[in-house]
Structure 1
Amino acid sequence: MRKRIFVLAALAVYLELVFHLYMGLDMRYAPVFLCAAAAWGLLATAVASLLPKKARRVVGAVITLLMTVVYMAECICKVILQQYYQIIGGLETAAGNHLGDYSAAVWTALAENIPGILLMVVLPLGVYFLSTRETIKETEEEGSSEGKKERRTEWKQAVLAFGVSCVFGAACLAAVFLLPWKGDINPAYLARTDLYTDDQVEQLGLGTMLLQDVRHSIFGTPGETMPQVEEAAEGQQEPEEPVYDHNQMHIDFEGLAAAASSEEERWLSEYFGSVQPAQQNEYTGMFEGYNVIFITAEGFSGYMIDPELTPTLYKMSTEGFVFKNFYSPLHFTSTSGGEFQNLTGLYPRAGFPVSLTESGKQSTYLPFTLANALNGEGYTSSGYHFNQNMYGRELSHPNLGYEWRQADACERPVTKETDEGGREYWPQSDDYMVQQTFEDYVDKEPFNIYYLTISMHLPYGYDSNEMSRRNWDQVASLPYSDKTKAYLAAGLELEKGLTHLQADLEEAGIADHTLIAMAPDHVPYSDLDILEELAGQDFGSDSVETLDEENVSLDVYKNTWILWSAGMEEPVEVEKVCSQVDILPTLLNLLGAEYDSRMLAGIDVLSDQEGMAVFFSRSWITDQGTYSRYTEEFQPAPDVEMTEEEKNVYVENKKYLADCRLRLGELIIETDYYRKALP
């Protein structure tokens, strides 16, 4: 036995080191994550050493197997979903979703990561069993003198392992809190939060992130420190002679702050009270009374739009409002996070629980969603998704104000498309969805319809995506790789759906009085090579499978937001930087709906407020330039000149604003703030 008792600790350090190297993570944090791995590995060693010999062998084997499986599983999660998963925090979400939708992607990822399986599964298991092979042959009786002597030695080794574990733990804490780390998201911050799991993995280690998840699940998390509220948070001055009214409601934020029952509630009131409301503008009420069809397009990127291949997408993206600097940042939980931004004008929480899911479970009052805002004006609001229930939409989407229809867990389930043998297609057809649902609402004007598409769901391949296979002939001769062709072919189902939708609206005589809005939930985040091929540019990532915002060009998130009506006489070009959270306030203003512009993270892009797109990493782009959280540098836009002092003031102001806006969604759900502010 002797030295072999420390094999678990050695494997813990080995797995953490190899995982970081294999995933291309920043090795500057090695003093933190290696000391942490040694600490919890030695602690596991000490505990296992106290067990009887046979139990110790079994427990050691189980721990080793769990470590290898978890490290490899997290690798696959990152490749497919672009995020690492907390075991306890993400368990409910994973259990409630249909993970079979990702089965083809999982097998593909496993096949492409054979070296990782060898390094993080096969090799550690082999080392463990080889290193303990001799002890398996031992047959001493526990009660013999030699056995008792060995047992005393093992107890001493357990005490030694525990002591050394404490030393490494202390070294880890010293590295976390005493070393001069740069940036706002550093080891000291991450050690006190359950947010930003990707940063936790990189800086503290995967094992530490998972252990923190367990600790937070049992004991809760320490409260986040709220930014000190600044006056005039938008940094704008009131015009001397306002031409337009403001999009604001009569709310006593000072009174709400004084009566707040929590620090979070008080902070929200103080922050909202400090924000300058957006002025209405020449576009206010432009589409008042119009029918509305809002589409969240699965995995959509504007780089796929082509005047010949996708004429309807091209028409709608160039003949309506043309947002030339629209971004679709990848925030937490991809599809659900993208939906949350599109539908609420807020950023999702940067960790579990999933914001949209939680809003449904808690019946959070969300008065500014399109459905809730328009239902009081006599609109009929319905939503459709031709897939099974995922992310708790059976609760969240009715709470948003829609009669929600999906394949299950609702009052009126939709009927999915099948082949002649009754087998359901995967993914389902967006064109089929439109054709099956149009008659459901066409005679219920004014209507407010929400579609969540599915045809462009990963993976992209002739054999792995039914919609790619269905439209393959239309893309077969294009000068792209087979994967990019498959992506485009899947997107043609969305194109066909929009074409049928436009024709049906025209036939019904209501096309000129219907506003169509479409935005992605996210870009095809696991397939950067597709985007690079379509865009004809290198986005700078070392891997085409992972979106590393430290190294990738943020133009990978540049996208197309369609806002079009057949009644528009000419396009309106908008240069302002904007993102998904800006969609809701812009639509509310165009529809002439009452809302308070101070109480959303997004802005009305057509107002005089400055545009801003905030990314998951807390880097951001504004009309004035780009800030990188990693380098802590601000690069002014080409036509912008600033002194160093002006630049520093501007950056601090926008960092504060980004920090505040990122927190709003989580805190509003946690406190049910809208219900208290707007009874």
Structure 2
Amino acid sequence: MYMDKKIGLFQRYGSILFFPITIIYLESIFKIVVFKELFNIGIVYMILFSIPAGILLYLVSNLFSSRVNRTISIVLTVFLTFIFIVQIVYFHIFKTFLAIYSINGTGQVLQFWQEVLSAVKSKAAVILLLLVPLLLIISGKRVLFVKKVSIKTKAWLAFTMVCIQITATILVFASGTGELSTGFIYSKAVIPDLSMNRFGMLTTSRLDVKHLVFRVNSPRTEEKEEITAIADNTEILNKPQPEKTVETQDLQKPEINNDDNIMNIDFDKLIASESDPNIVSMHRYFKSVKPTKKNNYTGMFKDKNLIMITAEGFSPYAVNKDLTPTLYKMYQEGFRFTNFYTPMWGVSTSDGEYVACNSLIPKSGIWSFYISGKNYMPFCMGNQLKKLGYGTRAYHDHSYTYYHRDVSHPNMGYDFKAVGNGLNIKKSWPESDLEMIQKTADEYMGKTPFHTYYMTVSGHLMYTFNGNAMSAKNRELVKNLPYSSGVKAYLACNIEFDRAMGELIALLEQSGIADDTLIAISPDHYPYGLTNKEISELAGHQIETNFELYKGIFILWSKGIKSEEISKPCASMDILPTISNLMGVEYDSRLLMGRDIFSDAPPLVVFSNWSWLTDKARYNSKNGKFLLAEGETNESVNKQYRTEISKRVNDMFTYSEKILENNYYKKVIR
């Protein structure tokens, strides 16, 4: 009788508790697997937001007869389980989260079915744990979802749901202030890395939908008075930075010109004639931004040919005197940026390309490069040099439609060819960068001046000898290295990229234009196909995961230039303004988020989770820690500095998004 009474209680309350407990259970596993932690302040918010979500699902599953309700409950549980499995598998592969918008592109992701299967196998134990609630609901017919509850009970549940949701929201906004307060992340910013940890996956997905459907403005964009770019107009940040070089040699630079790198844009006239307050605020902001100045590197490669390369999964660890001699030679002979970073963004390769090609921060939750394909993008090197009479071409040795490059790349001013629309190379996975160079170089070598852009693929994951054709091709060259199999495979596939660069330079030399051509190489992202343990193996020490993990490489090389080491912090966002200045083209430095590395502008590297670093300090948004650079003191780097840099970072995210959303360049450059 006691057991019957106990079962009766569970029949009454078990079905009500099932969904809240299930969501909390799934969120807890997700938090442990992804963030390697559970018991932080985020678990409180996660539980509070999970309970109303669970009650809502229960109410949805209690609208009809018991049989229908049971079916609905099973379907909802399948859906919940599925989305958690998808996010964990996706994160395992790409080290970022699947945004709602990106669901449209999951068909492209499934091209990497081998990687998906490998991830599922790797996370099999976790997936089994995620399936527990589903197994319970299928096998628990006697105790779950037996009867419909009364209207009165439903009303009380709805009231409870609303009260808990309101309580959770109040606690979020009362949780304090600071650069990245919990309330700011919940209501204004889109920072999945922080939001997932603080609120959970379901709440972050809800916020993602909200930001996707409703344009949520950052607080700093809602000002109605004249906007001042605080971070660009302070004595601290505008103090000219001495160039930090270890080895500086005569580069035959043009005569120094210290004029501002700006265009003739009459912001006052634009403000007076604009009726949209949102655009007016943008005009005021960009008018107030301090431009970078021309310098003794301006026009150093004016009228020269330019080859820009975004190298898939490239990193400093792939540059080796014996394994990749061409890349090693280019790095040693050219400009050596020893403090260069390649931050990871939400749409991995596509966002990495977008940042390097446009000097803008991609908008979280969408495919920014694809969206930009309908906008006027005058500062891309393709568009800048095309109007000067250059032949401008772009190539990619994989599918031409992947990430919608057939939309974004022609819009940058390029005649674009890839596999499927004119580039005919041997079918493999991944394809050969060397073969791409061999098949395309003749199209532009004899037609100077030219600008060519390459997006490579040989360095793509998986880093195995049975799942990567380029790794298998070069396996013999790495078999005796003292590394694990994954690391060897990574180095082996980058040997193919090195051979491609060797072929490219040889063809330039045969054409007699190697000393008239500037080559710029940077990664799209760090090699996330390697585990942190494997990257640490390459680094020779335990890698730090908020900053050091994203330490990248930027090669600027032309035959005959003398080497120079630049040690100030810089990142992929700085590539476009730096090359624009070197090529001596007209551009407006106020309208780009990056800075000409060779200018005296203060360095600032920004990461997707709103962490940042300068030559004076760094801020880790994950733990809120602010650390001074070596040699700096609290007197030279005070609280005002931290606040101003954080405001500048806020502005960079905000106005990058607004430029994309409003096709802003078309409004100011006519």
- TM-score, with structure 2 as normaliser: 0.90
Q: How far apart are the structure 2 equivalents of 1:392 and 1:261?
A: 34
State the SS of the aligned residue for 1:49: coil
Deviations 1:454-508 (A, max 9, x none): 0111110011111100000000000000000000001011000000111111111
Does 2:379 correspond to 1:406? no
Partner residue in 2 for 1:147: none
- Percent identity reads 32
- Tell me if the contact between 1:460 and 1:486 (Cα under 8 Å) persists in the aligned partners: yes
Question: Judging changes above 3 Å, is the alpha-carbon distance between structure 1 residues 154 and 526 closer, same or farther for their aligned structure 2 residues?
Answer: farther
- In the alignment, residue 102 of structure 1 is paired with which amino acid? F
Q: How far apart are the structure 2 equivalents of 1:278 and 1:453?
A: 31
Does 2:493 correspond to 1:497? no
Match for 2:403 among 387, 391, 398? 391
State the SS of the aligned residue for 2:652: helix
Deviations 1:150-195 (A, max 9, x none): 65x45454334323322322332222223x2454334322332472
- Tell me if the contact between 2:218 and 2:654 (Cα under 8 Å) persists in the aligned partners: no
Partner residue in 2 for 1:250: 264
Q: How far apart are the structure 2 equivalents of 1:17 and 1:35?
A: 13
State the SS of the aligned residue for 1:626: strand
Partner residue in 2 for 1:565: 558
Partner residue in 2 for 1:455: 458
Deviations 1:5-29 (A, max 9, x none): 2222321222222322333256312
Q: How far apart are the structure 1 equivalents of 2:405 and 2:88?
A: 27
1:284 CA drift (Å): 1.0
Partner residue in 2 for 1:18: 29
- Tell me if the contact between 1:428 and 1:467 (Cα under 8 Å) persists in the aligned partners: yes
Matches within 5 A, 1:132-531: 132-133=141-142, 151=148, 153-178=149-174, 180-181=175-176, 183-193=178-188, 195-217=190-212, 220-226=214-220, 229-230=228-229, 232-233=232-233, 235-236=237-238, 244-349=258-363, 351-360=364-373, 363-388=374-399, 389-408=401-420, 412-417=421-426, 424-527=427-530, 528-531=532-535
Question: Judging changes above 3 Å, is the alpha-carbon distance between structure 1 residues 67 and 164 closer, same or farther for their aligned structure 2 residues?
Answer: same
State the SS of the aligned residue for 2:553: coil
State the SS of the aligned residue for 2:294: coil
Which stretch shows the higher mean deviation, 73-82 or 463-472? Answer: 73-82
Give the ranges of 4+ consecutive aligned residues of structure 1 lying more than 6 Å apart after TM superposition. none
State the SS of the aligned residue for 2:218: coil
Partner residue in 2 for 1:667: 658
Deviations 1:35-60 (A, max 9, x none): 11110111111121121121101100
- Tell me if the contact between 2:15 and 2:144 (Cα under 8 Å) persists in the aligned partners: no
- In the alignment, residue 581 of structure 2 is paired with which amino acid? N
- Tell me if the contact between 1:517 and 1:561 (Cα under 8 Å) persists in the aligned partners: yes
- TM-score, with structure 1 as normaliser: 0.89
- In the alignment, residue 653 of structure 1 is paired with which amino acid? E
Deviations 1:107-166 (A, max 9, x none): 111111122112112x11121123224579x8xxxxxxxxxxx65x45454334323322
Q: How many residues align?
A: 633
Does 2:90 correspond to 1:77? yes
State the SS of the aligned residue for 1:479: coil
Partner residue in 1 for 2:612: 620
1:415 CA drift (Å): 1.2
State the SS of the aligned residue for 2:570: strand
- Tell me if the contact between 1:517 and 1:563 (Cα under 8 Å) persists in the aligned partners: yes
Matches within 5 A, 1:51-130: 51-87=64-100, 89-95=101-107, 98-121=108-131, 123-130=132-139
- In the alignment, residue 38 of structure 1 is paired with which amino acid? I
Deviations 1:232-269 (A, max 9, x none): 43732699xx9522211121223323433434322322
Q: How far apart are the structure 1 equivalents of 2:292 and 2:430?
A: 41
Partner residue in 2 for 1:544: none
Which stretch shows the higher mean deviation, 448-457 or 386-395? Answer: 386-395
Matches within 5 A, 1:20-35: 20-23=31-34, 24-25=36-37, 27-35=40-48
Q: How far apart are the structure 1 equivalents of 2:645 and 2:215?
A: 27
- Tell me if the contact between 1:49 and 1:155 (Cα under 8 Å) persists in the aligned partners: no
State the SS of the aligned residue for 2:402: coil
Q: How far apart are the structure 2 equivalents of 1:526 and 1:261?
A: 49
Partner residue in 2 for 1:49: 62
Q: How far apart are the structure 2 equivalents of 1:247 and 1:134?
A: 72
Partner residue in 2 for 1:543: none
Deviations 1:490-534 (A, max 9, x none): 101100000011111111111111111100000012422332111
Partner residue in 2 for 1:144: none
Q: How far apart are the structure 2 equivalents of 1:216 and 1:673?
A: 20
Q: How far apart are the structure 2 equivalents of 1:526 and 1:188?
A: 34
Deviations 1:53-111 (A, max 9, x none): 21101100000111111111111111112222233x2222334xx22342222111111
1:642 CA drift (Å): 4.2
Unaligned runs of 5+ in 2: 1-10, 222-226, 242-255
Partner residue in 1 for 2:244: none
Question: Judging changes above 3 Å, is the alpha-carbon distance between structure 1 residues 157 and 537 closer, same or farther for their aligned structure 2 residues?
Answer: same
State the SS of the aligned residue for 2:86: helix
State the SS of the aligned residue for 1:386: strand
State the SS of the aligned residue for 1:90: helix
- Tell me if the contact between 1:31 and 1:175 (Cα under 8 Å) persists in the aligned partners: no
Question: Judging changes above 3 Å, is the alpha-carbon distance between structure 1 residues 620 and 9 closer, same or farther for their aligned structure 2 residues?
Answer: closer
Q: How far apart are the structure 2 equivalents of 1:42 and 1:100?
A: 34
- In the alignment, residue 574 of structure 1 is paired with which amino acid? I
Q: How far apart are the structure 1 equivalents of 2:210 and 2:344?
A: 27
1:606 CA drift (Å): 0.7
1:666 CA drift (Å): 1.5
State the SS of the aligned residue for 2:569: strand
Q: How far apart are the structure 2 equivalents of 1:340 and 1:135?
A: 50
1:212 CA drift (Å): 3.2
Q: How far apart are the structure 1 equivalents of 2:481 and 2:216?
A: 54
Q: How far apart are the structure 1 equivalents of 2:592 and 2:470?
A: 37
Partner residue in 1 for 2:8: none
Q: How far apart are the structure 2 equivalents of 1:666 and 1:304?
A: 33
Question: Judging changes above 3 Å, is the alpha-carbon distance between structure 1 residues 195 and 601 closer, same or farther for their aligned structure 2 residues?
Answer: same
State the SS of the aligned residue for 1:450: strand
- Cα RMSD between the aligned structures? 2.1
Match for 2:140 among 124, 131, 148? 131
- Tell me if the contact between 1:50 and 1:154 (Cα under 8 Å) persists in the aligned partners: no
State the SS of the aligned residue for 2:462: coil
Partner residue in 2 for 1:142: none
Question: Judging changes above 3 Å, is the alpha-carbon distance between structure 1 residues 181 and 513 closer, same or farther for their aligned structure 2 residues?
Answer: same
State the SS of the aligned residue for 2:398: coil
- Tell me if the contact between 2:188 and 2:219 (Cα under 8 Å) persists in the aligned partners: no
Q: How far apart are the structure 2 equivalents of 1:260 and 1:655?
A: 29
1:395 CA drift (Å): 1.0
State the SS of the aligned residue for 1:634: strand
Question: Judging changes above 3 Å, is the alpha-carbon distance between structure 1 residues 430 and 624 closer, same or farther for their aligned structure 2 residues?
Answer: same
1:353 CA drift (Å): 1.9
Unaligned runs of 5+ in 1: 139-149, 418-423, 541-551
Partner residue in 2 for 1:610: 602
- In the alignment, residue 382 of structure 2 is paired with which amino acid? A
